[in-house]
């Protein structure tokens, strides 16, 4: 056999071995769970599904998981979840197999609550810890996660003293929780997710790469997430989170969980002093934060536009960059320039509020005041005064479906705050019972339906436009006489007395998360201004056009002109509006003071 033939045979043998290794290499399989559903006695979460989606995307982009091997489950039943875990563990069995379980949702010291149903932590832990995969990683981002790792107390967990081995040549388990003992885990509107998951993902995407070698171990990612989670939750909550861990691995080889070279878009950062933050321009969210100190590192990000910034003594230093798929963008701290204004939302900035209440939340608004205006009787030029009031009670059935309490009226939201929201509402939001010596007991119903579109120029401002149709229907207990083509008849008449169509628009601006100002305009047209129960053919006015400026009713809610937030639970409200009736030239001014409670 000559040299060329021998060399060719060796190449074929090497290729065959590589192909065989690829076929027999262990799989990385993940089960990723987001559980927004309310646990018994607790409100629903808002961002657990987003946490799960972000984690799954990170695993496939930088952690070597095939997209078909990452199973995302939103609010699964416990039995379905356990069956999926069992199947994934079997799939990851054999040499070099790795199984990762992630859960974001409600928990306590004994159970997690997928789909709001109880699943004992001991059952879940034993299932994962004794699975067939050679390496098992379990991550629970939930309140009172200490029962998962058996960490106790409220003291900060000490840093790792040894590198956590995650080599596929090792066997065993790594269990991680976002909180210790009896602590609560927190999610934030500002980052649209939980603090711990946000920072764990940031660490895996390169923020935790202390060595600058383009690889991040689970130990590095956890240490990074622990530090920043404790920092941020200490600023916004009474009890800061201290993530906890338990390791049961043999061996000391350190195989990284994420490799940044796998990413489809990278930022190559050279930091001299720091800390540098990477802000996604579309959302204003700080997606990555680099610890202080000189370092060179690569950061795996989703394609898009970002601002790289650092707060310095002289002001905000920043540079805007666009990261395209398949590209690496180089950024040097020394090239950042002084920005005129810090126009991006900071991490603790006020987040946009949804048009509907969160699941299980209550809201009660009361207002009382006066109406000044011309008397409504035709031909009378005197002025009058009347009492004005508003009562609005609401309950969040889900985070998108809202009930107007004490009435058969509901509102449903599509879309998310900060982008575009559609609100559809209808029912009988207003009704009343009265008595007249002529008509007897009067039951008045005001059925209405409408839609509203909310657009967000920024996190602190929203533009709302709406259309609505409102009717007033009345039933009298006394039989009334009326005349029709057949002569006079007597009946308990029930029917519409008015039909009104509304076109409304409002602009809302929140300052420092404390004061919200609303200014609106409402144009109402009454094709039937008022019908008479005794003689339905009679109309007091054939057509009426009404213009209101100031505090207007929009999407079945009276908007205060100003709301002053006194605490998380309540605010003071001021209402003021001017209305003009074109057909009668009446002017009505309404002034009210009120308060809104939320719990």
Give the CATH number, domain containing residue 284.
2.60.40
Residue 23 Rama label (left phi>0; alpha psi -120 to 50; beta): alpha
Task: Give the torsion sign (CA, 391, 396, 399, 401).
Answer: negative
Is the same domain home to 273 and 393?
A: no
Domain finish residue from 207, 233, 261: 261
Q: Domain of 469: which CATH number?
A: 2.40.160.40
Tell me the three-class secondary structure of 22-49, residue by residue: HHHCCCEEEEEEECCCCCCCCCCCCCHH
The answer to whether residue 331 sits within a structural domain is yes
For residue 498, say if its preceding peptide bond is cis, omega within 30 degrees of 0. Answer: no
The answer to whether residue 31 sits within a structural domain is yes
Q: What distance in Å separates the CA atoms of residue 127 and residue 132, rounded to the nearest whole number?
A: 10
Max CA separation in the chain (angstroms): 121
Q: Domain of 67: which CATH number?
A: 3.40.50.1460
Q: Are 174 and 247 within 8 A, CB to CB?
A: yes
Is the same domain home to 421 and 547?
A: yes
Reported residue count of the chain is: 599
Give the CA angle between residues 246, 247, 249 to the nearest 5°.
165
Q: Are 44 and 399 within 8 A, CB to CB?
A: yes
Mean pLDDT of each 10-residue bin along the chain, 599 residues long: 41 37 62 87 80 91 91 93 91 83 83 88 82 81 50 30 33 55 44 78 87 83 82 57 50 65 86 86 79 87 87 84 88 81 41 79 91 57 67 89 89 85 88 63 80 87 92 68 48 60 92 86 76 45 78 89 88 93 86 92
Residue 427 Rama label (left phi>0; alpha psi -120 to 50; beta): left
Is the same domain home to 297 and 244?
A: no
The answer to whether residue 576 sits within a structural domain is yes
Domain finish residue from 261, 287, 313: 261
Is the same domain home to 295 and 414?
A: no
Q: Which residue has the tokens 């540098």?
A: 276
pLDDT given at position 19: 35
* 3-state helix vs strand vs coil in the chain, percent to 5: 20, 45, 35
Is the same domain home to 206 and 196?
A: yes
Q: Are 180 and 217 within 8 A, CB to CB?
A: no
Q: What distance in Å separates the CA atoms of residue 135 and residue 172, rounded to the nearest whole number?
A: 5
Which residues lie across from 195 on neighbouring strands? none
The answer to whether residue 380 sits within a structural domain is no
- Alpha-carbon dihedral 433, 436, 440, 446, rounded to 10 degrees: -30
Is the same domain home to 495 and 482?
A: yes
The answer to whether residue 8 sits within a structural domain is no
Tell me the three-class secondary structure of 510-547, residue by residue: EECCCEEEEEEEEEEEEEECCECCCCCCCECCCCEEEE
Residue 384 Rama label (left phi>0; alpha psi -120 to 50; beta): beta
The answer to whether residue 355 sits within a structural domain is no
The residue range of the domain holding 279 is 263-338
Is the same domain home to 243 and 115?
A: yes
Q: What distance in Å separates the CA atoms of residue 59 and residue 216, rounded to the nearest whole number?
A: 12
Domain finish residue from 237, 261, 285: 261
Is the same domain home to 410 and 443?
A: yes
Is the same domain home to 575 and 478?
A: yes
The answer to whether residue 356 sits within a structural domain is no
pLDDT given at position 432: 67
Q: What is the pTM of this model?
A: 0.52
Residue 53 Rama label (left phi>0; alpha psi -120 to 50; beta): alpha
The answer to whether residue 423 sits within a structural domain is yes
Is the same domain home to 160 and 35?
A: yes
Q: What distance in Å separates the CA atoms of residue 122 and residue 148, rounded to the nearest whole number?
A: 8
Is the same domain home to 256 and 267?
A: no
Is the same domain home to 257 and 270?
A: no
């Amino acid at each position: 056999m000559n040299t060329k033939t021998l060399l060719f045979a060796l190449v074929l043998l090497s290729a065959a071995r590589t192909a065989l290794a690829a076929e027999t290499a262990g799989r990385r399989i993940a089960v990723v769970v987001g559980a927004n559903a309310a646990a018994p006695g607790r409100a629903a979460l808002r961002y657990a599904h987003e946490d799960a989606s972000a984690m799954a995307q990170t695993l496939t982009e930088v952690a070597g998981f095939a997209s078909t091997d990452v199973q995302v489950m939103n609010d699964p039943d416990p039995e379905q979840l356990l069956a999926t875990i069992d199947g994934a563990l079997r799939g990851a069995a054999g040499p070099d197999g790795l199984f990762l379980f992630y859960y974001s949702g409600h928990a306590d010291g004994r159970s997690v609550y997928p789909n709001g149903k109880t699943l004992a932590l001991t059952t879940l832990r034993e299932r994962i810890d004794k699975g067939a995969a050679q390496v098992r990683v379990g991550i629970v981002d939930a309140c009172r996660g200490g029962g998962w790792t058996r960490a106790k107390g409220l003291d900060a967990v000490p840093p790792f003293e040894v590198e956590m081995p995650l080599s596929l040549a090792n066997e065993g388990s790594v269990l991680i929780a976002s909180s210790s003992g009896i602590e609560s885990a927190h999610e934030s509107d500002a980052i649209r997710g939980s603090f711990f998951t946000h920072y764990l993902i940031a660490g895996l995407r390169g923020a935790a790469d202390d060595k600058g070698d383009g690889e991040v171990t689970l130990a590095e990612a956890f240490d990074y997430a622990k530090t920043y989670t404790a920092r941020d939750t200490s600023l916004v909550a009474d009890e800061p989170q201290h993530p906890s861990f338990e390791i049961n691995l043999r061996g000391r080889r350190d195989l990284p969980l994420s490799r940044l070279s796998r990413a489809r878009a990278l930022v190559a950062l050279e930091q001299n002093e720091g800390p540098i933050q990477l802000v996604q321009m579309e959302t204003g969210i700080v997606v990555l934060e680099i610890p202080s100190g000189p370092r060179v590192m690569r950061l795996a990000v989703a394609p898009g536009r970002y601002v790289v910034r650092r707060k310095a003594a002289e002001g905000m230093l920043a540079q805007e960059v666009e990261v395209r798929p398949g590209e690496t963008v180089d950024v040097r701290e020394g090239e950042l320039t002084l920005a005129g204004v810090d126009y991006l939302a900071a991490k603790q900035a006020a987040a946009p509020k949804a048009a509907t209440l969160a699941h299980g939340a209550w809201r009660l608004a009361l207002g009382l005041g006066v109406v000044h205006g011309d008397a409504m009787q035709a031909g009378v030029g005197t002025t009058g005064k009347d009492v004005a009031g508003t009562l609005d009670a609401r309950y969040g059935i889900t985070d998108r479906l809202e009930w107007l309490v004490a009435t058969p009226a509901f509102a449903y939201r599509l879309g998310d705050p900060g982008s575009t929201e559609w609100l559809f509402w209808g029912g009988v939001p207003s009704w009343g019972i009265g008595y007249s010596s002529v008509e007897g007991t009067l039951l008045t119903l005001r059925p209405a339906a409408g839609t509203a579109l909310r657009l967000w120029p920024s996190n602190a401002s929203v533009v709302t436009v709406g259309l609505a149709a409102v009717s007033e229907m009345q039933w009298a207990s006394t039989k009334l006489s009326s005349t029709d083509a057949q002569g006079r008849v007597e009946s308990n008449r029930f029917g519409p007395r008015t039909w009104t169509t509304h076109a409304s628009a409002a602009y809302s601006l929140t300052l420092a998360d404390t004061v919200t100002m609303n200014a609106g305009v409402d144009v109402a047209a009454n094709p039937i201004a008022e019908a008479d129960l005794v003689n339905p053919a009679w109309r007091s006015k054939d057509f009426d056009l009404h213009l209101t400026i100031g505090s207007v009713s929009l999407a079945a809610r009276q908007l205060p002109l100003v709301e002053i937030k006194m605490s998380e639970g309540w605010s003071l409200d001021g209402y003021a509006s001017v209305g003009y009736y074109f057909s009668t030239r009446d002017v009505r001014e309404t002034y009210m003071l009120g308060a809104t409670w939320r719990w």
